[in-house]
A and B are shown apart, each in its own frame.
Chain A
Amino acid sequence: MSSILRLLTSRWGPIITGVVIGILAPVLVRLGNPGNMGVCMACFTRDIAGALGLHNTSVVQYIRPEIIGGLLGAFTAALLFREFKPRTGSAPLVRFLLGMFAMFGALVFLGCPWRAYLRLAGGDWNAILGICGLVVGIGLGIVFLRMGFSLGRNRPAPKTLGWIMPAFMILLLVLLLVEPQFGRDASGNPTGPIFLSESGPGAMYAPIAVALVVGLAVGFLAQRSRFCTIGAIRDMILLRDNHLLNGILALIATAFITNLILGQFNSGFEGQPVAHTDGLWNFGGMVLAGLAFTLAGGCPGRQLFLAGEGDGDAAMFFAGMLVAGGFAHTFSIASSPSGVVAFGPAAVIVGLVICIIIGLTMREAKT
């Protein structure tokens, strides 16, 4: 057992994590999750935002156990391996904004980087332009890093800070299981504060226990192996280091094979599940997401797992994603399967301008 655990911090760690995700994500689709959405940090966080009433798009409201499990799995690993280190103070407000814009970009594309790779492995060729956009966004972020961009240093914080996100995840799990309905609508029917979809992608989910266990396993593995879908490309370009990229390649290859075995591989552009064919904004949305994730130091999964380790700044990034999951629908930013909507492109352009300003101006403050 200990040799397997040691393997996770070796060059095999990201590969093992990628293989496990590549198998389990398509299995979750088989067990009920929406197509090519075994795991999607953006879509799932948006669903949680909806379930909490932060938006009222009734087809995308569900408390996704994969997110809860992901954070708690990383939390468990961090506790076991003495890596639970509460810390904060590295520009939390900027990280909140970056989380928001990463979320807007991802929801214009309809997926975070994890889902972009899973969509590719399911034969959704619209993902190709999304991934191209992601690479461009990461490249832009690297330009800023080379120019001296930094969100500054974090500082150790009291243990209490690190326990807030695990406690919030436990609360979400309780809300999912209890599904309290103590509000009343105009006709007097029970409603809220938790809203769960009765149709659409939000009503498509694997059994709670399975999704939770998969989340726990992925969170545990990813915490140990530092798996990151943004770092994979960033480190290859910036550091000529393929350590994390191997994990992504393993994920795509394994998910492709698993999809073939399960009869879920369906290649083409049209009619793909929870996807649209507007290439320009598939690309543009992911340029924004790639830039925002790079400036924040990692993909949404990595931010979630860092939050599990006690990183209060990563938790602020997640909070930004959660709030933006609400705004993306109330402000008509998130795309629908029929294409981009009213303010999607505008949000991407505004987001790019703001992220570029952040990239050009944020430097470590000299004390």
Chain B
Amino acid sequence: MGELDIIDARGLSCPQPAMLARQALQKLTEGSLELIVDNSTARENVSRIAKNLGWEISVDERSEDDVHLLIRK
């Protein structure tokens, strides 16, 4: 895997942030993915989906509307 994949899921309705995360993670066996969200619901949903698939999450909250979820395995 080369450059870090970044998905901007800000402003999207349920279930799109979690769905985009799941679709991207299913294409990877390992590596990392960054997903940007702007609300707590998307943050919780994406984190839960990634953990269920066995990935680790770290959160970089730059502001309330700019939360970067770094997903790694």
Contacts and interface: CB of A to CB of B under 8 A. Distances in A.
Nearest to B11: A153
B13 A90 contact: yes
B15 interface: yes
A85 B11 contact: no
B39 A85 contact: yes
Interface string A214-256: 0000000000001010010011001111010000000000000
Interface of A: 9, 82-83, 85, 87, 89-90, 145, 150-156, 226, 228, 231, 234-235, 238-241, 243, 296-298, 313
Interface of B: 10-16, 18-19, 22, 39-41, 44-45, 48-49, 52, 64-65
Contacts of B48: 241, 243
A145 B12 contact: no
Contacts of A243: 48
Nearest to A146: B19
B19 A145 contact: yes
B16 A239 contact: no
B15 A239 contact: yes
B41 A239 contact: no
A226 B44 CA distance: 10
Contact of B15 (A85, A90, A156, A231): A231
Contacts of B13: 90, 150-151, 154, 296-298, 313
A231 B14 contact: yes
Could you tell me the dominant secondary structure of chain A's interface residues? loop
Contact of B64 (A82, A153, A234, A238): A82
A9 B16 contact: no
Contacts of A241: 18, 48-49, 52
Contact of B11 (A155, A226, A240): A155
24 contacts: A83-B40, A85-B39, A85-B64, A85-B65, A89-B11, A145-B16, A150-B12, A150-B13, A152-B11, A153-B10, A153-B11, A153-B12, A154-B11, A226-B44, A226-B45, A228-B14, A231-B14, A234-B15, A235-B15, A238-B15, A239-B15, A239-B49, A298-B13, A313-B13
B52 A240 contact: yes
Contacts of A85: 39, 64-65
Contacts of A82: 64
A289 B71 CA distance: 35
Most chain A beta-carbon contacts within 10 A, residue among B16, B18, B41, B52: B41
A85 B64 CA distance: 10
Contacts of A235: 15, 18
A234 B10 CA distance: 21
Contacts of A155: 11
B65 A156 contact: yes
Contacts of A154: 11, 13
Contacts of A87: 11
A226 B45 CA distance: 10
Given A83-B39, A83-B40, A150 B11 contact: no
A196 B44 CA distance: 42
Contacts of A240: 52
A187 to B, nearest CB: 50
A263 B6 CA distance: 56
A154 B39 CA distance: 12
Contacts of A228: 14
Given A85-B64, A153-B10, A154-B11, A238 B16 contact: no
A9 B44 contact: yes
A238 B26 CA distance: 13
